[in-house]
């Protein structure tokens, strides 16, 4: 009976410990609501359009650049990036490089080619940029694969 009680407590303890996020966790991270219109302005002011193409925003021509970067943001996607992922993409771009590109296209020695804005970007601009970018993504349903696939 005593061991049964003890193992019961142990199970509860493990369950509780398993749910507690580690101190490095992003859980609980919430920034104030942004303003998409101001985010659009910030996108142009900060020259994000030198490397990114977003529907409704003119590209910024970079003088003397042979092959300007052209990373699309927004559009139809099968999964919309979370708030946390977008914030991370802006303030810590090398953490996870954008998918769909050759590493040498978008990075040098594993470091993103994206400009580091951390010393110039205000938190207000960051929240506005995220709100703006989120408004640009549209969810596209995944085409169902006919099953069973013929020919197999
Ligand atoms: C000098 C070029 C350059 C500038 C300027 C730039 N970026 Fe980027 N950005 C990149 C590159 C290259 C990537 C792809 C590699 C990566 O994920 O870091 C990227 C990736 C991103 C991504 C992730 C895209 C994805 O599909 O995962 C976001 C979001 C983003 N940038 C936002 C911004 C915003 C907002 C600004 C302006 C404040 C900006 N970028 C300015 C080059 C740039």
Spell out the domain ranges in the chain: 30-139
pLDDT above 70 (res 150):
no
Spatial separation of the C-alpha atoms in residues 130 and 91, rounded to whole Å: 11
Would you say the C-alpha torsion 103, 116, 81, 70 has a positive or negative sign? Answer: negative
Query: How many angstroms separate the most distant Cα atoms in the chain?
Result: 79
Q: What is the mean pLDDT of the chain?
A: 89
Alpha helices (H) along 32-82:
36-45
| Pocket lining: 97 vs ligand 1, CB cutoff 6 Å | yes
- From 91, 114, 125, 128, the mutation candidate for ligand 1 (largest count of ligand atoms within 8 A of CB) is 114
Tokens of 95: 């953490």
Which DSSP state fits 143? Answer: P
Of 26-30, 42-46, 69-73, 136-140, the one with minimum mean pLDDT is 26-30
User: What per-residue confidence (pLDDT) applies to 96?
Assistant: 93
Superfamily of domain 30-139: Cytochrome c-like domain (1.10.760.10)
CA-112 nearest atom, ligand 1: 18
Full-model pTM: 0.85
Spatial separation of the C-alpha atoms in residues 117 and 136, rounded to whole Å: 21
User: What per-residue confidence (pLDDT) applies to 84?
Assistant: 92
């Amino acid at each position: 009976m005593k061991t049964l009680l003890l193992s019961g407590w142990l199970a509860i303890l493990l369950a509780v410990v398993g749910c507690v996020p580690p101190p490095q966790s992003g859980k609980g991270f919430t920034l104030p609501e942004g303003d998409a219109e101001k985010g659009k302005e910030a996108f142009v002011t900060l020259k994000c359009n030198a490397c990114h193409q977003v529907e409704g925003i003119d590209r910024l021509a970079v003088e003397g650049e042979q092959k300007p970067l052209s990373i699309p943001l927004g559009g139809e996607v099968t999964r919309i990036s979370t708030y946390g992922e977008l914030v991370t993409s802006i303030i810590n771009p090398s953490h996870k490089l954008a998918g769909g590109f050759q590493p040498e296209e978008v990075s040098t020695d594993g470091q993103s080619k994206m400009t580091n804005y951390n010393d110039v970007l205000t938190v207000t601009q960051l929240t506005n940029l995220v709100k703006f970018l989120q408004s640009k993504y549209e969810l596209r349903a995944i085409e169902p694969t006919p099953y069973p696939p013929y020919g197999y």
